[in-house]
Amino acid sequence: MDMRDASFAPGTPRWQADVTRSPVLPQHVGTARELQVAPDERLMMVSDPRNLRCERIRILRTELMLRRPARDRAEIIALVSPHPGEGRSMLAAELALAFAETGCPTLLVDGDLRNPHQHVYFGSQNQMGLSQALTTGVAPQLQTVRGSPRMSVLTAGIGSGNPLELLASDTFAAMLDEWRQGFEFIVIDTAPAAHYADGLAVASLAGRVLALSRAQHTPSRDMEMMLRRLSATRSEILGAVINHF
């Protein structure tokens, strides 16, 4: 997988990772972190961390860290791409692993409530995930990652009939605000933007977006349309990544 940063803007502040900082977790987050999951071997950041693809993910991670606007506020990044099969979910998982690798408390959220993948990549149960937390008000059941103690995962949960409304809700906005207190980086996977508006809703709340396309797969007109739709939200497009695999 050859990932190329196509549109990072120059001149943004540089930032150095603080690998000694310990996470300060909200109380209900702390009690929900007892479950542990094991990442799948398909995630190269775990199975072959010196692979060229992993080094490119680390380059992307570093670019994003250098452009973090404020150290005292968590960086929330939504990954958005037009279609299924573009590598969005895998990149979200591996980017989160890369952030956690620096010692920064990191949360991976599966915001694709249509066709989620993160519970597969981390071999986790998916009965009580984001969807259930948003519909019932129960505390989100975060799961720690074996071998990556600074990383937690929130799966999508069992699908609901109104994912767009859940992801655009004040409840999800409040959840994000609370997670900002306990994590330095939050990476959110989303549903394909050419098919659903869910990713636009998440992007609007997250505030910062990484746009993804797949070489020889994503029609340029669909990528352009997605970027136009994202520009209408309150989110900042951090850059565009092209997947080659």
User: Per-residue pLDDT for the chain (245 aa), expressed as one digit of tens each?
Assistant: 445 433 333 332 222 222 223 344 443 343 344 589 999 999 999 999 999 999 999 999 999 999 888 777 789 999 999 999 999 999 999 999 999 999 999 999 999 999 999 999 999 989 899 999 999 988 899 999 999 999 999 999 998 889 999 999 999 999 999 999 999 999 999 999 999 999 999 999 999 999 999 999 999 999 999 999 999 998 999 999 999 87
- Give residue for tokens 């949360």: 107
Contacts of 54 (CB under 8 A, 6+ apart): 44, 45, 48, 94, 98
pLDDT of res. 73: 78
Could you list the residue range(s) of the whole structural domain that residue 167 is in?
4-10+26-243
Q: What is the pTM of this model?
A: 0.86
Residue 167 lies in a domain: yes
The three-class DSSP label of residue 162 is coil
Please state the domain count of the chain: 1
Domain for residue 116, yes or no?
yes
CA distance 198 to 115: 12
- Determine, yes or no, domain membership for 219: yes
- CATH number of the domain within which 231 lies: 3.40.50.300
pLDDT at position 3? 53
**133 token code pair:** 């937390």
